[in-house]
Amino acid sequence: MTVTGAHVVLLATGGTISSRSSHKGGAVASDTGAEVFKAMGSPTPHPVRVLDVFQKGSYLLTFEDMLRICATIKDVLKDPDVLGVVVTHGTDTMEETAFLADLTHDDMRPVVFTGSQRAADSEAPDGPDNLARAIAVAGSTEGRGKGVMVHFAGSVFPAAGIRKSQTLRLDAFANPDFGSLGRVSAQGEVAMLDGGSRPEPLPLPEPGGTCPRVDLVAAYPGADATLMRAALRAGATGIVLQGTGSGNANPSLCSEVAAAVASGVVVITSTRVDAGPVVPIYGAGGGGEDLRAAGAIGSGHLRPSQALILLNLLLSINTGPERIGEIFTHRGRPPKPSA
């Protein structure tokens, strides 16, 4: 699709917004970006150029796939005529890809992730409306300087802290710690809040490189260190420990954390709790204070999904443990409003 002059770029990656019922059963990402765009059936507030990255359900994506999306965003932003970028993406791992894009975004122009909860061939698909509003945000002056955003059902959120909070409801996402950035109406009227200062972007790894193995291990009643040991034997150089409460585990996991850190593995402590920071408070052999003493790094307000993405990126660019701790401290805090 050729577009001249100022325009928005739509990067299509698949997801429910492109899915239709399959003869094999279940919905499958099948529509091209042009078909997703055509389904809107109404004029857009800005001209749109459509590019296909791939067609996948986001539950199938790898870290390498997410890097490819981020590299494509950077590539299309080399064109000065591009006002902003919309990425259509499955909701299952949108919080991971959008956060990776935000970590590496070094441009004032908006990048907006969106998708749908209902398939393209459902009786009342929500994708066309979500896409139209996302295009309005991506092309707006109000969206500039806000980094990478997620739009769903009229709400616009920062990528940092975003999480899927509803499996089926149309207002699929929430951001309890980092808040909302604004709203966009069905008519394309964009109202944005101050997003605060943005951290310096991190480098995007060169394509084709070997990505480190980073695994997620959960603490739960009765958990032992079996799964963490398995991850380490499989070659993990980073572990995200999904703790309970403010970031707690138990003596068995804590001992394995200490051994892992001593061997050079980076361990991040996050939490399964929906909101609030990871804070080292408790002892008794496996609490958050013990994990800190064992060498684990707290994730701040970042939940396991995004802590894993940040750790994977930092290890991919050969960041040392001390610097990783500093970056998690900085990135794990909600932004302060600009003066």
93 is catalytic: no
Q: From first to last of its 339 residues, what are the pLDDT tens digits of the chain?
A: 578 799 999 999 999 999 999 877 899 999 999 999 999 998 999 999 999 999 999 999 999 999 999 999 999 999 999 999 999 999 999 999 999 999 999 999 999 999 999 999 999 999 999 999 999 999 999 999 999 999 999 999 999 999 999 999 999 999 999 999 999 999 999 999 987 889 999 999 987 778 999 999 999 999 999 999 999 999 999 999 999 999 999 999 999 999 999 999 999 999 999 999 999 999 988 999 999 999 999 999 999 999 999 999 999 999 999 999 999 999 999 987 654
The CB density around residue 169, as the number of other CB atoms within 10 Å, is 10
Q: What's the burial of 16, exposed, middle or buried (CB within 10 Å: 0-12/13-18/19+)? A: buried
Amino acid at 51: L
Domains and CATH numbers, the chain: 7-192 (3.40.50.1170), 214-331 (3.40.50.40)
Are 53 and 69 within 8 A, CB to CB? Answer: yes
- How far is the first Cα of the chain from the last one, in angstroms, to the nearest whole number? 42
The residue to which tokens 């790898």 are assigned: 62
180 φ, ψ (degrees, to nearest 5): -105, 155
Of the residues 13, 16, 93, 97, which is catalytic? 16
**CA 260/CA 12 separation, integer angstroms:** 40
